[in-house]
Structures are given as C-alpha cells and as structure tokens.
Structure 1
Amino acid sequence: MNLHSIVDKFENSRNIQEKRKLIPILEKIRANGYNSSQIYASHGEDSAAIQLTPTSKDLILLTTDALLPTFIEKSPYGAGFSAIYVGIDDIFACGGTPLASTITIAYGDDNIGKKIFSGVLDATKVFKTPLIRGHTTTDSPSLAISSTIIGNTTVEHYLSAGGSNSGDFLAVVWDPDGKTSATNKNYWNTITMKSSEEFFHKRSFLSPAIDKKYITACKDISNGGILGTLFQMMQYAKLGAKIDLNILESHIISDNLQFSTEQFIFLFLTSGFLISGKNETKNELIDLVYNANMKFYEIGEVQDKNEIRLKYGENEEILLEEYF
C-alpha cells in the first residue's frame, strides 16, 4: 500500500469532489436562507432536527437522498430498496428512530417502474417505515429517485455529527456479515440478506451508547468511504484527525477479510458508522458493539490541528489541511 496513491485516489474520487463542492453551497444557504428558531440542527448533520415548538424537547428528524441514474438503470429493484435504506442509517446515526418515508420517482419504462416500486415496498417492510407520500412520473425520458426519511428523537438523545472533541478516539463500527455488490465492487451489502429483526439488532448499540455519552459524534459511512465520512465529520467539528492505517490493517489481517486496507477505506459500508468517543469508556462501548454482533475497529484520534493526517508503516502523509 502506498500513501501517495491513497491521497491521489481521495483527491480524484467523484464522491469526494462532490462533498467538497458542497461547502460553498452550504455557506451560501446559511448566509442567505431563511432561518427559524425551531430548527434545532440542519446542515452538516446526517439528519436535520426540528423542534415541535421553540421550547419542545421532542424532535422531528428529516433526511433526504437521491440516487444516481446509472445505478437505477443497472439495478432498478436495488435502487428502489436503497432509496429507502440510505436515509435509515442517517436517522440512527443522530440517535433517532425511523418513522416513515416519502419518495419521488421518474421513469419511462413500466417494467423498470415495477422493479423500482418492488424494491421500495420491500424496504419499507424491512425497515418498518411506511411510505406515506410521494410523486411519480411514468413518462419521463430519464430515470430519477429521491427519498426522504422521517424520524424522531429528543433533544437529550440527539447526537451531532460535529460533536467530536480533541483527544477522542476514532473508530469504525461495521457489520462484516455481507458481500460485495454485483454492480459495484466498492459497495459492501449487509442489508438485503438480513431480516428486519437482524437489521435493528445490529444498531442496538447506538441508543445506550448515546444515553451513556460513550459516543461524542457519529456518521454513517456512505459513498465517500471512511475517509470521505471522516472529512465531513472533522470539517463540521472544526477539528483534525490522525488515522493510523497500521492499526486498521492489523484488524483486517486478524479478521481475515477479503479486502486490502486501501480497498476497505473507500468502501460504501452499509451497516457502517464512523464514531468518536471518550477513551475512558471505550471498553464499555466495545461491549455494546459486540453484543450487537458488530465489529469495532479503532483507527485513530481527533486532534486540534486543521488537517487529516495518514500514517502507514513509519511514513505519514497529509490527506487534507485547512479545510475550514
């Protein structure tokens, strides 16, 4: 493994470039958009949070995602299923419970449309999120799917993606019981073969870990992989990080994984979360993670310096610096 190749892959990744392009867009929204005192959290979080009243302790959570047309074309059923799934872990990462879903779908081929809806409806059953609203275009010249997942939590139980503190450990919590997607070698599928009960059990560590303050921040690991997710988490926290790939590689070797370290850090890890937490309660957190049949891979620590630094062997390389 070569640190230069990892940095190059990171910088040239479409997913990473898209995430970096969001920064000025979000700054413009914050500066020029209308705001409300009932918005408890919004940009930068996995799920936005809205207070029912300005003083309410109850929060409604919202998260929205869209799928690439190429994915929809290759796997319309998978795209329909994923349209619901992608927002579910956003809700869990913030300490919430998914309640319902909405979806917008556009297609021109009825056969493709049937497959999309089949995936959508199967997903609502697995994730126990009824489809309550949407919009469908059946004569569209192009394919499109976007979805919104609605959830709830309380102010005390809401976990911000920007809550990391300098000195916190960084770890990946993930489900090794899966397989590589047939349509995307960088997609680790742990969802479609699981029952609803298994799916929710895998996430059962989150609620008690948040209640006991074992976790200071959390983001689900999506199409930017571990490094893309780390960039967003640290940019929002206005902190830096040092990632030791030697430690990560030792986990991969000891668990006899099919991936190299370089491959693993760029995977879309369904049932995967990047977390930061307090070192003094790390062992208690690990017990919760293992009881949920998940793996805990410590990978580094949060630092004050405005950079993300990678270490492998005795060599170090700056992945990103001065990003806020």
Structure 2
Amino acid sequence: MVRQIVETLRASQGIVAKADIAEVTSRLGLSQSDTIRVGDDCAAIPDGDGYLLFAVEGLINEFVAADPWFAGWCGIMVNVSDIAAMGGRAIAVVDAIWAAGDAAADPMLRGMRAAAETFAVPLVGGHTNLRNDRAQLSVAILGRAKRLLTSFDARPGDRLIAAIDLRGRYREPFSNWDSATDAPERRLRGDVEILPLIAEAGLAAAGKDISQGGIIGTAMMLAECSSVGLAIDLAAIPRPESVPLERWLRTFPSFGFILSVVPASAAGVIARFADRGIEAVDIGGVTADRAVRIGLGDDAETIWDFTRQPLMGCLHA
C-alpha cells in the first residue's frame, strides 16, 4: 500500500510543480549564499530587532474560474498562513486582479474583502485590469516577526509535529479543506497567533505552512531546505475519519502547519494547539540521512532521496 501512495504522491501536481522553483531561482540568479534565503514561506528581511516578512501567492487559474469567491478568500488566507508559518504577524496585503469586466471580478473582490476583515489585515492597494479575457488573481503580503520559524533549522533528532484544523469540509471539486469560512473571526485570529507565540517562546525554530504539496510534499520541502531526512508514520497524521488517506495526503488544509521541535518541547507545542481544538500530533522524526521515508507499520518506502535528486534545489548553504 505504501508503494502505491509513494507513486501517487510523486506524480501529483502539488509535488511535481515544486521542481519549477529550482528552474526559476536558477534563471534569476538567486543563491543560498544570499542574505535572503530562498525556499522559505516568506522572504525574511532583517529589520532592526526583528524581520520584515514578504510573500506572494498566485491562485491557480482553474480554481479562480471554478470558485472565484473562495479564491479571493484564499488569496488572503494563504498569505496570512505563510506569515504565521515564519513566526510573524501580518501587516498589510496588496492584490493584482484581472477579469473580463466588473461582474467577473466581483466575487473575487468580495472574497478578498471578507477574508481581510476576518483576519484583520488591511488591503492597501494593488493592480487592476478589468479588460482581460479571463479571471486571474495574485495577492502579496507584508508582515513582521520578532523571532523566526524557518525552513532551514530542522535538526536530526527533532520531532516532527503536524497541526491541522480538522473542523471543516472539502470545497469540491478541489482537494481544499475549508475549516475557515464558517468559523468565528475571533477563533481564527487566535489560531493564527499560536505560531508567533511558539516562535517567541523558543519552542520551535523550524516549520512550514502545509501547501499545495500536501503534508508529505511540505515535509519534503522542509527536509530539503534543512539538509536533513525524515521518517514519517502515515498512521499518526491527523485526518478526518471519513477521508481516505491517499486523498488527505494530497489535501491543502485551511489551517495546517508542520513544525520541527526538539523532543523536550514537543509536548508544549502540541498543548498550544490542543488548547484551541486543533489536532497536533507527533508524526515522526528528523534524521541525518537526507532521505524522506513514509510508512504504515512495517511497510515503509523512501519517497525522496535528496542525495540523488533535488526537489526545489533550495539547500541550506
């Protein structure tokens, strides 16, 4: 069974698309020796006693066409999550929107406005083109962190904690798990605040927001950036009882994070999420061999070996 899961995930668009990052960074001349490291959820720019965080998301065209209101919502939400994944708090967002007229733009605009109000993040400008032949959307965000969570600081011996809000439903036909649009504003804001509080308390130094790559793809990205390996117990991953494992592993959750934590801090990190009704579980460990292995009981397979093949090409310098 694990062999089948490995083959399915390797071929999934969420993981295959990560290889595009290596091509783009090479063409742009970006390097891990630069001050701003490539491969994190945000660019972390040193600023006084902390960091400015800068990120951007482009929404998949098919998603925008099929569910424009939720695409607008997600444009804000995923950026807020990226800021939180770095241990930061959002300051403001800007958007770039293209549409074939006012009517086509309206649901995207309403979705963005609703999410911006929900997460208390101001929309402060952007770019507009309402004379395009299709709808497209991109949203950028600025935030600030006092102390970072990064993709580059997982260490062998750490425990891998997955925290996912299971109180939701799929937004069909895509594998987007929506645990946010019906939730109280106060709860959502408090949930996002868990991450900077964990960072500031020194309970973790490394983590990532679970992205289109799903929980395994996101864990692979973390491992590559930190030049480590992982051993993941698929049975331990928190998931809704009604959702098949293979689909859940390809799911993009509204609230989902992976944290690499020293063993002594694992219980404290899990408790922070549990106090807010969010499932947080130790799903495996960080290893020194630079290979990611996933397993169910005695059935285990290597899904990626970074000594043989890079994924994003974003290694720790």
Q: Scaled by the length of structure 2, what TM-score is found? A: 0.91
> Residue in 1 aligned with 2:14?
15
| 2:69 corresponds to 1:77 | yes
CA distance in 1, matches of 2:234, 2:168: 23
Instruction: Give the counterpart letter for 1:162 in structure 2.
Output: F
Q: Deviations over 1:62-86 (max 9, x none)?
A: 1101011111111111111111111
Report the aligned-residue RMSD: 1.9
CA contact (8 A) 1:205 1:292 kept: no
Pairing of 1:80-99 with structure 2 (within 5 A): 80-99=72-91
Letter in 2 for 1:296: A
- What are the residue-to-residue correspondences of 1:195-274 with 2, within 5 Å? 195-248=184-237, 252=239, 257-274=241-258
Conserved 8 A contact 2:72-2:111: yes
Aligned to 1:3: 2
Q: Could you tell me which residue of structure 2 aligns to residue 148 of structure 1?
A: 140
Which secondary structure does the structure 2 equivalent of 1:142 belong to? strand
Aligned position for 1:177 = 167
* Paired letter, 1:266: R
In 2, are the aligned partners of 1:94 and 1:159 still within 8 Å (CA)? yes
Q: CA deviation at 1:59?
A: 2.0
Q: Secondary structure at the match of 1:218?
A: strand
Distance 2:32 2:160 in 1: 33
Q: Give the equivalent residue in structure 1 for 2:38.
A: 43
Cα distance in 2 for residues equivalent to 1:268 and 1:207? 21
1:91/1:151 contact within 8 Å kept: yes
Q: Deviations over 1:64-120 (max 9, x none)?
A: 010111111111111111111111100001111111100000011421111111111
Q: Which runs of 4+ in 1 moved over 4 A?
A: 30-35
Superposition deviation, residue 145 in structure 1:
0.5
Shift of 1:260: 2.5
Provide the secondary structure at the position in 2 that maps to 1:203.
helix
Gap runs ≥5 in structure 2: 311-317
Q: CA deviation at 1:179?
A: 1.0
| Deviation for aligned residue 1:28 | 4.4
Aligned residue in 2 for 1:313:
297
CA distance in structure 1 between the partners assigned to 2:294 and 2:59 by the alignment:
31
SS at match of 2:100: coil
Query: Which region of structure 1 is more displaced relative to structure 2, 17-26 or 134-143?
Result: 17-26
Q: Which moved more, 1:195-204 or 1:101-110?
A: 195-204
Q: Helix, strand or coil for the counterpart of 1:215?
A: coil
1:161 is aligned to 2:151: yes
SS at match of 1:194: coil
Secondary structure at the residue paired with 2:145?
strand
8 Å CA contact 1:216, 1:276 repeated in 2: yes
TM alignment of 1:111-126, pairs within 5 A: 111-126=103-118
Task: Name the CA distance, whole Å, in 1 between partners of 2:230 and 2:88.
Answer: 26
The answer to whether the Cα contact below 8 Å between 1:310 and 1:317 also exists between their aligned partners in 2 is yes
Structure 1 contact 219–274 (Cα < 8 Å) conserved: yes
Residue 114 of structure 1 aligns to a residue whose secondary structure is: helix
CA distance in 2, matches of 1:309, 1:107: 43
Deviations 1:254-299 (A, max 9, x none): xx62123222222111111011101112222222121122111221
Distance 1:32 1:261 in 2: 37
Unaligned runs of 5+ in 1: none
CA offset digits 1:19-55 (Å, max 9, x no partner): 02212432443457996xxx5x341111112234xxx
Question: What is the percent sequence identity of the aligned residues?
Answer: 23
Asked if structure 2 preserves the Cα contact closer than 8 Å seen for 1:216 and 1:278, the reply is no
- Report if the CA contact (8 A) 1:222-1:270 is conserved: no
Letter matched to residue 268 of structure 1: F
Instruction: Give, in angstroms, the shift of residue 306 of structure 1.
Output: 1.7
TM-score (norm 1): 0.89
Give the superposition deviation at 1:15: 1.5
Quote the offset at 1:203 in angstroms. Answer: 2.7
The aligned residue for residue 58 of structure 1 is 50
8 A Cα contact 2:32 2:38, kept in partner: no
Q: 1:208 to 1:23 in 2, by over 3 A?
A: same
